[in-house]
Chain A
Amino acid sequence: MKTEKIILKNETGLHARPASEIAKIASKYQCTINLIVNDKTINAKSILNIMAAGIKSSTEIEIQCDGTDEEAALAELLQAFNNNFGE
C-alpha cells in the first residue's frame, strides 16, 4: 500500500469539480483508492462520497492506494492535488 499526506490548498475546498476530477482519475486505476480525512475513510472513486465529505481548504488528506497500479495512481492524484485541480 502506498500512502501520502497532503494539505488541501485550493481555496474553495473539494467542491464538485475537483471532486469529479479526483473520481475520474481514481476510476482509471484498478487499485483501491481511499482518502482519509479526520479519521473518516472516503472512497475516491465516488464523486458523491468525496463531495459528501465536504472537505474544506487546508484540511489534511491522506491518500491511500492499494493494488497493482498503486504507484501510478498515487502519482497522478498527487499531481492533480498539487495543481490545485487547475484552479
Chain B
Amino acid sequence: MKITDLLSKDAIKLNGVMSSKEESINQLIELMTTNGNILDKEKYKQVVLKREEEGSTGIGEGIAIPHGKTDAVTKPGLSAMVVPDGVEFNSLDGQPAKLLFLIAAPNTKDNVHLDVLSRLSTLLMDTEFRKALLNAKTPEEFLMCIDRAENVKISENKDYNNSYEILAITACPTGIAHTYMAAEALEQMGEKLGHKVKVETHGSSGVKNKFTKEEIKNAKAIIIAADTKIDFSRFDGKKIVKAKVADGINKPKELIEYALSDQAKVYHSNVKNEINDSNEKEGVWTQIYKHLMNGVTHMLPFVVGGGILTAIAFLLDDYSINPANFGMNTPIAAFFKTVGGAAFNVMLYILAGYIAMSIADRPGLAVGFVGGILAVQGTTFASLSDSSIVLVSSGFLGALIAGFVGGYIVVFLKKICSYLPDSIEGIKTILLYPVFGILLMGLFMLIINPYVAGINTAINNYLSSMGTANKVLLGALLGGMMAVDLGGPVNKAAYTFGTGMLASGQYEIMAAVMAGGMVPPLAIALLATLFPKKIAKKDRQAAYVNYIMGLSFISEGAIPFASSDPLRTIPAFIIGSAVTGALSMAFNCTLMAPHGGIFVIATIGHPLMYLLAILIGTIVSALIMAKLKKNLPEHSK
C-alpha cells in the first residue's frame, strides 16, 4: 500500500495556523472526511483523542502522527497538515509539531495502520524529505515529494525482496526425478504461502541454482530435503530443517512452516553435539541408507560407462576365435573391453570410499578407498607369507563393509584426537587420520577378507547354480521391490544389489531389476492409452509421457499417479514388476549396464525375450489397475 494511494490532494492543508492540539486534530479530521472513508466523524474523533490521552503522538522532530483505529472507518486513509509556526502537541521532545499526519484505519485484524505508520516513518526519517514537505508550495507539490521519496524507497525495498526468505536444497540418490519434484513442490508451496523460496538442486548433473553468499546471509531458514549427504558448513548460524526428499514432495507446507517457526534449530558448524542431535533424530536406518546411497551415487557413472562399453565389446567380438578369451579376440573388442574394464575395476573402490566419506567427511575418503581396494584384492594375512595362495575377492560385500567400517574408523580417530592439544590441529587431517586410518583399515580388511570372500563366493556359486524355480523367485522378489516405493529405499535396496552383483559378474539379476523398474511407468501409460477414463483428463498427458519414462528406466515417473491413489496402483505395480522380473530371469536375460532402459537394449542378452517380459508385466499391471480403479467422470478435474 502506497502513501500516495491513501492521501489525496484535498486531504492536505499547507500553511495551517493552529492554536491548540485539539484544533489541529479537528482540522485533520475535516480533511480526512474528504477521503470519504469516515462513517461517523464524532466516533472517529473520540478514538483519536483517546489515543492522545494514552500518550502524545507528537514523536519529536516536529512530527505528529495522530491515529485512530475504529469501525467508524471504512478503509485506510491519511490526511496531512503543515503548520509552519508549529503547534503545541505535548511532543516527547517538547518541540511544537509542524508536520502532522492523521491516520485512519478500519478495525480489522491485519493492523493496516502499522503498515502505514511504518511506511510513513521510513520516509520521515529523512531530514531532507521533511524539509521538502515543509517547503511545499502546493498540495500537489507535497504529494509529489512523497511520491518521489516512496519510489526511491520502493526500489530499495525491491532489492531487499530479491533475497529469499527460505533456501532449500533437494537431493536424491539417483538425482533424476525426486530432486526436481521436491524442488518444484517447495517453490510452488512457497509462492502459495507468500514466502520466497529458492531451491538449489543437487541432481545427477551436479548442483544447479546455487545460492550466493548474500542469499544465505539474507535467508531466514534453510530446508534440506535430501537423502544424500549435504555439506552444511556454509549455513553456519542459520536455522536448518532436515528432512527426507520425500517430505519435500509430500509435505512442503509443513516444512516451510516449521522452518519459519521458532522450533527450527540453529546450526553451528563448531558445535558437535548439535549435528549429532539431528543425526540421531534421523534414525539408524535412515543414516545407513544415506551413507550407502552416497556410495552408490558416486559409483553409478563407473558402472554405467564400464558396463555398456564392456557389453559393446562382447557384441563386436567373435566368440569362435577363442571362447576362453571372449571380448578380447578382435582389436576393436579388446579396446572397448579394456576401457570399460578400467571403469569397472574401480567401481567398488569408489563405493567404499564415498560411503566412508559420507560417514566421516573428507578424511573418510582415503580410508574407505583403500579398504575397497583391499576388499577387491582379497589380500589376507596368510597370503602375505605364502605367495602360492590364490586370492579370492571379497567383492561387493567386502567393499560395503570396508566403506562403513572405514568411515567409523575415522569417526573413532576423530574422537580420540579431540583429546589432543589444539596446537596439533593442523596435522590431524594431513597426517594422523590418513596414517592411522589406513593402517587400522588394512588390519581390519586382512582379518575379515577370508571370511567375507568365503561368503561372497558362496553367494556367487549359489546364484550361478540356482535352479530355475529359485531364479524366478528371486527375479519376482527383486522386480516387485523395484515397484514398492518407486525410487525409495526398498527400490534402491534391490537396485544396489543388482549393481553390486554386476561386480561379481552376475548379469541376470541386474536385468530383472531394471525390467521390474521399467514396468510401473509403462503400466500407467498403457492404462491411459487403453482405458483413458481411469485417469483424470488433466493427468493424461503426463501419463503418456510415462512411456518415455518407463522406456528410460525412470520408475519415478509413476510416482504422481501412485501417490494420488496408492492402494489401487502400488499393488498393481508390484504384481506387474514381479511378473516381469520373474520372466526376465526365466528367459535368462542378462544386463551389464545398471541403467539406460531401452537405450541399452543392444547390450542385453536375449533382447526380444526381455522386451516380452516387460510387455507382459506392463499389461498385467495395467489390467489390474483398470479393474481396481473407478471410471472418472469426463468433466472431473
Docked pose: A46 CA to B61 CA in angstroms: 10
Given A12-B111, A16-B57, A38-B220, are A51 and B92 also a contact pair (CB < 8 Å)? no
Contacts of A24 in B (CB 8 A): 92
| A54 CB → nearest B CB, Å | 3
By the criterion CB–CB under 8 Å, are A47 and B92 in contact?
A: yes
By the criterion CB–CB under 8 Å, are B55 and A48 in contact?
A: no
By the criterion CB–CB under 8 Å, are A48 and B121 in contact?
A: yes
Docked pose: A46 CA to B93 CA in angstroms: 11
With an 8 A cutoff between CB atoms, is B125 at the interface? Answer: yes
Contact with A along B62-79 (1 / 0, CB 8 A): 010101000000000000
Among B63, B119, B122: residue with most chain A CB under 10 A: B122
By the criterion CB–CB under 8 Å, are A13 and B111 in contact?
A: yes
Contacts of B114 in A (CB 8 A): 12-15, 54, 56
By the criterion CB–CB under 8 Å, are A20 and B121 in contact?
A: no
Residue of B nearest to A15 (CB): B114
Out of A21, A47, A56, name the residue touching B111 (CB < 8 Å): A56
Residue of B nearest to A57 (CB): B111
Docked pose: A46 CA to B218 CA in angstroms: 25
By the criterion CB–CB under 8 Å, are B111 and A48 in contact?
A: no
| A9 CB → nearest B CB, Å | 13
| B63 CB → nearest A CB, Å | 7
By the criterion CB–CB under 8 Å, are B124 and A48 in contact?
A: yes
Given A49-B125, A53-B118, A54-B118, are A16 and B59 also a contact pair (CB < 8 Å)? yes
Docked pose: A48 CA to B63 CA in angstroms: 10
| A80 CB → nearest B CB, Å | 13
With an 8 A cutoff between CB atoms, is B539 at the interface? Answer: no
With an 8 A cutoff between CB atoms, is B84 at the interface? Answer: no
User: What bracket does the count of chain B residues touching chain A fall in?
Assistant: 20 to 34
Out of B61, B113, B262, name the residue touching A48 (CB < 8 Å): B61
With an 8 A cutoff between CB atoms, is A23 at the interface? Answer: yes
Contacts of A52 in B (CB 8 A): 118, 121-122, 124-125
Out of A7, A13, A48, A54, name the residue touching B59 (CB < 8 Å): A48
Contact with A along B107-118 (1 / 0, CB 8 A): 000010111011
Contacts of B124 in A (CB 8 A): 48, 52
| A6 CB → nearest B CB, Å | 12
Residue of B nearest to A23 (CB): B92
With an 8 A cutoff between CB atoms, is A70 at the interface? Answer: no
By the criterion CB–CB under 8 Å, are A20 and B111 in contact?
A: no
Docked pose: A12 CA to B262 CA in angstroms: 20
Give the A-B pair count, Cβ closer than 8 A. 65
Out of B51, B59, B119, name the residue touching A47 (CB < 8 Å): B59
With an 8 A cutoff between CB atoms, is A66 at the interface? Answer: no
Out of B56, B117, B217, B262, name the residue touching A51 (CB < 8 Å): B117
Among B51, B125, B220, B262: residue with most chain A CB under 10 A: B125
Out of A12, A13, A16, A60, name the residue touching B65 (CB < 8 Å): A16
By the criterion CB–CB under 8 Å, are B60 and A47 in contact?
A: yes
Given A48-B121, A52-B121, A54-B118, are A21 and B262 also a contact pair (CB < 8 Å)? no
With an 8 A cutoff between CB atoms, is B277 at the interface? Answer: no
Contacts of A20 in B (CB 8 A): 55-57, 59, 92
Docked pose: A7 CA to B117 CA in angstroms: 21
| A10 CB → nearest B CB, Å | 11
Among A7, A15, A50: residue with most chain B CB under 10 A: A15
With an 8 A cutoff between CB atoms, is B54 at the interface? Answer: yes
Contacts of A49 in B (CB 8 A): 121, 125
Mark out the residues of chain A between 23 and 59 whose CB falls within 8 Å of any chain B CB in the assembled complex: 23-24, 38-39, 46-54, 56
By the criterion CB–CB under 8 Å, are B118 and A51 in contact?
A: yes
Residue of B nearest to A40 (CB): B160
Docked pose: A15 CA to B61 CA in angstroms: 18
| B76 CB → nearest A CB, Å | 14
Contacts of A2 in B (CB 8 A): none
Docked pose: A35 CA to B598 CA in angstroms: 62
By the criterion CB–CB under 8 Å, are B121 and A51 in contact?
A: yes
Docked pose: A23 CA to B122 CA in angstroms: 16
| A39 CB → nearest B CB, Å | 7
Contacts of A56 in B (CB 8 A): 111, 114
Residue of B nearest to A18 (CB): B55
By the criterion CB–CB under 8 Å, are A54 and B117 in contact?
A: yes
By the criterion CB–CB under 8 Å, are A16 and B92 in contact?
A: no
Docked pose: A17 CA to B67 CA in angstroms: 11
Contacts of B92 in A (CB 8 A): 20, 23-24, 47
Residue of B nearest to A12 (CB): B111
By the criterion CB–CB under 8 Å, are B125 and A17 in contact?
A: no
Docked pose: A21 CA to B51 CA in angstroms: 14
Residue of A nearest to B130 (CB): A48
| A26 CB → nearest B CB, Å | 12
| B418 CB → nearest A CB, Å | 30
By the criterion CB–CB under 8 Å, are A21 and B118 in contact?
A: no
Docked pose: A21 CA to B92 CA in angstroms: 10
Given A16-B65, A16-B67, A52-B125, 15 more A-B residue pairs with CB atoms under 8 Å apart are A12-B111, A13-B114, A15-B111, A16-B57, A16-B117, A17-B51, A17-B54, A19-B59, A46-B125, A47-B92, A48-B121, A52-B124, A53-B118, A54-B115, A54-B117
8 sample A-B contacts, Cβ–Cβ < 8 Å, listed by A number? A7-B262, A16-B117, A23-B59, A46-B125, A48-B59, A54-B115, A54-B121, A56-B114
A-B pairs, top 9 by smallest CB distance, nearest first, are: A54-B118, A51-B121, A52-B121, A52-B122, A47-B59, A48-B121, A48-B125, A13-B114, A15-B114
